[in-house]
Amino acid sequence: MTRLSPNFWQEKFETQQTGWDRGQASPQLLQWLQSGALNTRETQRIAVPGCGKGWEVAVLSEAGFETTGLDYTPAAVAEAKLRLHAAGLSAAVVQADVLTYTPEQPFDAVYEQTCLCALTPDAWITYGQQLARWIRPGGHLFALFMQVARPGSQQGLVEGPPFHCDINAMHALFDQRQWRWPAGALTQVPHKNGLFELAVILERV
């Protein structure tokens, strides 16, 4: 299995090469909160894998969720903790490998934004199995799947990260044996880097 090392991501943070970072929480997370699709009545414990600088961890903590941020990289963990401290918020931020991390008890939900597309595709099956273990039956995966021009497309060769989370591949990764997909088209969420994400809420069967 190919892995991008913690040093790879540490250098990205140290040199401010964090183009995936919006400088604020994703507008889709805010929409899910405002609409009540993500609420503290149904969800108490939520994880944010690949939490980076902690924007979403802070928003979820402020909204009253018991939030756990996970990241591979020391610099990301330090910055996320600093953001929470400065805002007077409380959340767990853990330096961990998402491919081996085991929570003490299942989460009610996971907010997946930039972790999957940062993993090399040969690690996706392992990560998908991890998410299925982390989330209790009836819990939810709030996912944003990054859409990147594929090799051979008119936009040219694009090598990750971010890696292209092709929707057909996502249906295969999160299949109906463990996940329930909603009917209808998925929401497109523009990103400042010129790409866009597909937003979906999956229910753990």
Give the pLDDT of residue 191. 83
Q: Are strands 196-204 and 135-147 parallel, antiparallel or unpaired?
A: antiparallel
Q: Rounded CA gap, 122 and 167, in Å?
A: 16
Tens digit of each residue's pLDDT (9 = 90 or more) over 52-95:
999 999 999 999 999 999 998 899 999 999 999 999 999 999 99
Res 153 pLDDT > 50 = no
Rounded average pLDDT over 128-144: 98
All structural domains of the chain with their residue ranges: 44-65+106-179+191-205
Model pLDDT, residue 87: 97
Does 1 have pLDDT greater than 80? no
User: Of 135, 140, 128, 137, nearest to 32 (Cα)?
Assistant: 140
DSSP calls for 11-59: HHHHTT--TT--SS--HHHHHHHHHTSS-TTT-SEEEEET-TT-HHHHH
- Given this structure, which CATH class describes domain 44-65+106-179+191-205? alpha beta
10: its two tokens: 């540490």
**pLDDT for residue 2 is more than 80:** no
94, 49 Cβ separation under 8 angstroms = no
pTM greater than 0.75 = yes
**pLDDT > 90? residue 12:** no
Q: What is the pLDDT of residue 158?
A: 45
Is the pLDDT at 156 greater than 50? The verdict is no
